[in-house]
Amino acid sequence: MGDITKAGSNRGDLERELEDILRFAKMTYQRYVLTIEDYTREELEGDLKEYTLQLENFVAPLLERAEEEGLEDIAEEIEGYYKRLIDAIKQRLLEI
């Protein structure tokens, strides 16, 4: 499980920070879906909770900041990866 709040070292430059976080979110999603069948139900449930919290507590406020700066495209892409990851975890939980 990854922590989006630790992604990137470009604090203060919103566009670069968003690009770092986008790379992090994309890699996290790709890696996770490749190995999703290896996770136990308990791990999936924990990850679902964690990624949902990250989406609500970190990505949503980031979207607001990005909109103010005209950078909503990048923020929406980050949000999209998180939503797809959460959906993949929910789907896998239905399968096991």
Amino acid 11: pLDDT: 54
Q: Kindly report, residue by residue over 29-79, the tens digit of the pLDDT.
A: 999 999 999 999 999 999 999 999 999 999 999 889 999 999 999 999 999
Half-sphere exposure of 2 (CA within 13 A, CB side): 20
Does residue 26 register a pLDDT over 90?
Answer: yes
Domain total of the chain? 1
Q: Which domain holds residue 70?
A: 4-95
Who contacts 18 (Cβ-Cβ below 8 Å, separation ≥6)? Answer: 62, 66, 71, 74, 75, 78
